[in-house]
């Protein structure tokens, strides 16, 4: 993130609601490849609480985000002329949006494929606190994340402000139809390369459907 997460530039690859309503993951955090994804229940950009497991049966592309991370903003579309930077952060110049990368590395798959749910998981606000529902709404409006097209922005909550979350930014995680994490390109030292492993794997999953 800008000065807080300078390693975002080396990419290889308030609570969302009241705390009393928080639902902690059903599995240990952080997510682990080969295991069910933690069933987070968080507030989306429309103010509705959503459980990730409600999308079981579809492919989830999950992006852990720090709102002031230059790489995160680039992947979200910050370098596109019709979108631009959010809150004065300069997006990482050498990165395109995930919407542009997907068809290049996932065998022509487009982000608007109805079999895909794209989730931007806001883990840190601009001030490095837990994001609010208002943060999720503002981010979604800026980056044109349309909830009706299954492009979700979820506001992380206080219990997710841990080192493991920090270490997941920036990058992407791929969850299959069984709600199992099958590829992880998140963090400064990702397990899987985004371009040679995760995105091609997404293409393969859809080819089987």
DSSP for 120-185, please give it.
EEEEE-TTSSPPPHHHHHHHHHHHT--GGGTEEEEE--GGG-SHHHHTT-S--EEE-TTSBEEEE-
- List the strands of the sheet with 116-124, edge to edge: 49-51, 41-44, 151-155, 116-124, 59-66, 173-175, 181-184
CB 2 within 8 A of CB 68: yes
CATH fit for domain 16-207, picks 3.40.30.10, 3.40.640.10, 3.40.50.720, 3.30.530.20: 3.40.30.10
**In whole angstroms, what is the distance from residue 201 CA to residue 192 CA?**
10
**CA torsion sign, 88 to 174 to 99 to 188?**
positive
**In whole angstroms, what is the distance from residue 179 CA to residue 153 CA?**
18
In the block, tokens 């999953």 appear at 205
Instruction: Give the pLDDT of residue 4.
Output: 45
First to last CA, the chain: 37
Instruction: Using pLDDT thresholds of 50, 70 and 90, give the confidence band for residue 208.
Output: confident
Instruction: Using pLDDT thresholds of 50, 70 and 90, give the confidence band for residue 21.
Output: very low
DSSP state of 7: G
DSSP state of 31: P
Write the DSSP string, 198-209.
IHHHHHHHHHT-
Instruction: Give the pLDDT of residue 24.
Output: 54
**Span 55-75, pLDDT tens digits:** 999 999 999 999 999 999 999
Is residue 54 scored above 70 in pLDDT?
yes
**Span 176-192, pLDDT tens digits:** 999 999 999 999 899 99
Q: Which two tokens stand for residue 176?
A: 């299959």
Q: Which of 117, 109, 106 is nearest to 195 (CA)?
A: 106
What is the model's pTM? 0.88
Whether the link from the prior residue into 172 is cis, omega within 30° of 0, is no
Is residue 20 scored above 60 in pLDDT?
no
Average pLDDT of 100-125? 97
Q: What is the rounded average pLDDT for all residues in the chain? A: 90
**Span 120-161, pLDDT tens digits:** 999 999 999 999 999 999 999 999 999 999 999 999 999 999
CB 144 within 8 A of CB 77: yes
Residue 144: exposure state from Cβ atoms within 10 A (0-12, 13-18, ≥19)? middle
Instruction: Give the pLDDT of residue 111.
Output: 95
**pLDDT more than 70, % of the chain:** 87
């Amino acid at each position: 993130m800008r000065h807080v997460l300078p390693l975002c530039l080396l990419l290889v690859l308030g609570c969302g609601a009241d705390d009393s309503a928080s639902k902690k993951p059903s599995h240990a955090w952080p997510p682990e490849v080969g295991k069910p994804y933690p069933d987070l229940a968080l507030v989306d950009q429309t103010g509705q609480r959503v459980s990730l497991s409600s999308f079981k049966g579809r492919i989830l592309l999950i992006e852990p985000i720090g709102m002031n991370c230059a790489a995160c903003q680039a992947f979200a579309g910050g370098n596109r002329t019709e979108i631009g930077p959010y809150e004065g952060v300069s997006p990482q110049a050498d990165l395109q949006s995930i919407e542009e990368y997907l068809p290049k590395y996932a065998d022509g798959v487009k982000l608007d494929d109805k079999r895909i749910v794209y989730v931007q998981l806001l883990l840190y606000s601009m001030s490095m606190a837990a994001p609010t529902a208002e943060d999720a709404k503002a981010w979604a409006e800026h980056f044109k994340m349309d909830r009706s097209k299954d492009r979700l922005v979820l506001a992380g909550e206080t219990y997710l402000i841990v080192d493991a979350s920090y270490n997941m930014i920036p990058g992407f995680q791929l969850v299959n139809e069984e709600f199992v994490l099958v590829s992880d390109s998140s963090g400064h030292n990702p397990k899987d390369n985004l371009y040679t492993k995760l995105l091609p794997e997404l293409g393969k999953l859809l080819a089987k459907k």
